[in-house]
Amino acid sequence: LAKTTQPISMDSYEGQEVNITCSHNNIATNDYITWYQQFPSQGPRFIIQGYKTKVTNEVASLFIPADRKSSTLSLPRVSLSDTAVYYCLVEGYSTLTFGKGTMLLVSP
């Protein structure tokens, strides 16, 4: 049973805000929600992590409702260089479980 469910792909244009939603109905009490970004032939890169409510850093925001059964990664004003695969993970420890991720394509 997959721990997370997210769209396979999304398309956007430069300058737009992109929201990627992830479902994690079976999240455990001690699990954190973490998002990674991966470019082709590179290792994944940590973007943001949260437990509940809203977290914001210099590159993204993460919205988590009270029931924690889903989360939304928000990328403000995307650029072409944001084209990548985005993974949503729910983990209580660093043995990370990756799904297939969401392939985000940003066009001019």
Angle formed at CA 40 by CA 39 and CA 41, multiple of 5 degrees: 115
Given the complex with other proteins, which of 9 and 16 has the nearer CB atom?
9
Q: Minimum distance between the CB of residue 14 and other proteins, rounded to whole angstroms?
A: 26
x-marked contacts with other proteins along 35-54 as a string, rule CB under 8 A: ------xxxxxx--x-----
Distances (CA, A) of 91 to 8, 24, 56: 21, 11, 19
With b meaning 16 or more CB within 10 Å and e meaning fewer, what string describes 78-90?
A: beeebbbbbbbbb
Alpha-carbon gap, residue 74 to 60, rounded angstroms: 6
55 to 74: interface string for other proteins, x by CB under 8 A: --------------------
Comparing CB distances to other proteins, the nearer of 65 and 92 is 92
Residues lying near other proteins in the complex (CB under 8 A) are found at: 32, 34, 41-46, 49, 87, 89, 91-101
